Structure 1
């Protein structure tokens, strides 16, 4: 079930979102106790992106209230997605869309951490990468390309030859000295990545595809998966039992959640 501004959503309410693909969102993993790691960062993202996409403010108090209402009576971990869009948007006059509404949907959450991931490098750069927008065609096409080739997801490489991010996740590396390296590239700065950067020593540097394959280890991060090791990039196998990966997983799980 999904709600729009706290009310059951109708198909007609969703048509503008489906037909124009204009809006932004954030996804948050809700723990068994109802808490959310990085909740305040998720709210900050929604406010920032709403200003960028619609030139409008956003009442995070309303967002929290609608999410609480949607989660009422649910048990077990889940992922709640908050999508911001204007149901009155018109394809011919997108500049008039400045009254965003709040769509809340919930799905089940998998166990943490998930199994290691095999990624295929794909040449792709997202539009407006700093915004978590709903225009997912390019990302999903890259993921489909990787899956048809026998991999599970895509690792994006820009036209400059630099690694940036994954299909719907940030990527990090562990170099041969055991240092965590985050790619310096136009990316969506994920909440999970931001939390890990606050709790683990790291450096930010450009990473070519060749350098990525020569790292001691690599991992994917987002709110749904936490810290997920990469088993391979293309045909290059990577260590999935590196001690730094275990430290990152433990560090992430130790971060206390915030209550709505």
Structure 2
């Protein structure tokens, strides 16, 4: 069931979201025991993005309550998505929308870790990259084009030639010395990325596409996939058995979840 402010959602409720594509969200993986890794960070994201998108305050305890309600009777593990939008938003006067509501939806979760992915590099920069917003047309169009070309997903490279992020995931690399390198570029501040940065040594640096292809290993992160290995960027293959990758996967799985 999908709910809006704790009540079953109607087609009329969803129509403004579909027609304007204006809102922001976070997705959280719920473990079998009901806990969520990085729950506090997810709530902080929603509050921060609500101020940016809507100029409004968001009560995280209210959100937690709606999420608990949405998870009742759901099989676990699962992924719960919280979308924040104002049903009265319109194309003519979006500034008039200042009363965001909470849409909660739940889907099943895949196994961790998922299979390695092959990424095709594309020149693309997301709008307002610091916000996890619902404007996914460009990212999904790039993903679809990459899949039609025989890849699993797209890896974004800015007009400046610097690697930034993936379709719906952060990317990082392991250099030849075994250090984890996160790209210094306009990217979504991912929750899984933040958790790993707290539990593994790393550095942040600009990474060109050529430099990326010269790394010892590469991986993607988000809350649904945890640490997912990259087996290729374009025609360059990467090993999926690098010891640092295994350490990162183990480190992520060892992070305790938080309860709602």
Question: TM-score range, shorter-chain basis?
Answer: over 0.9
State the match for 1:228 in structure 2.
Answer: 228
TM-score, normalisation: structure 1: 0.99
State the match for 2:175 in structure 1.
Answer: 175
State the match for 2:64 in structure 1.
Answer: 64
CA distance in 2, matches of 1:181, 1:59: 35
User: Where in structure 1 do 4 or more consecutive aligned residues deviate above 4 Å?
Assistant: none
Aligned length: 260
State the match for 2:29 in structure 1.
Answer: 29
CA distance in 2, matches of 1:174, 1:231: 13
Cα deviation digits, residues 202-244 of structure 1 (max 9, x gap):
0000000000011000000000000000000001000101000
Tell me the secondary structure at the aligned position of residue 258 of structure 1.
coil
1:94-133 matches, within 5 Å, as: 94-133=94-133
State the match for 2:45 in structure 1.
Answer: 45
CA distance in 1, matches of 2:46, 2:127: 18
State the match for 2:8 in structure 1.
Answer: 8
Cα deviation digits, residues 170-200 of structure 1 (max 9, x gap):
0000000000000000000100000000000
Gaps of 5+ in 2: none
Tell me the secondary structure at the aligned position of residue 73 of structure 2.
coil
CA distance in 1, matches of 2:62, 2:97: 20
Shift of 1:145: 1.1
Shift of 1:76: 1.9
Tell me the secondary structure at the aligned position of residue 145 of structure 1.
helix
TM-score, normalisation: structure 2: 0.99
CA distance in 2, matches of 1:90, 1:221: 34
CA distance in 2, matches of 1:2, 1:222: 22
State the match for 2:89 in structure 1.
Answer: 89
Gaps of 5+ in 1: none
Tell me the secondary structure at the aligned position of residue 42 of structure 2.
helix
State the match for 1:245 in structure 2.
Answer: 245
State the match for 1:259 in structure 2.
Answer: 259
Tell me the secondary structure at the aligned position of residue 187 of structure 2.
coil
CA distance in 2, matches of 1:94, 1:191: 28
CA distance in 2, matches of 1:61, 1:157: 37
**Contact 2:50–2:58 (CA<8 Å) still a contact in 1?**
yes
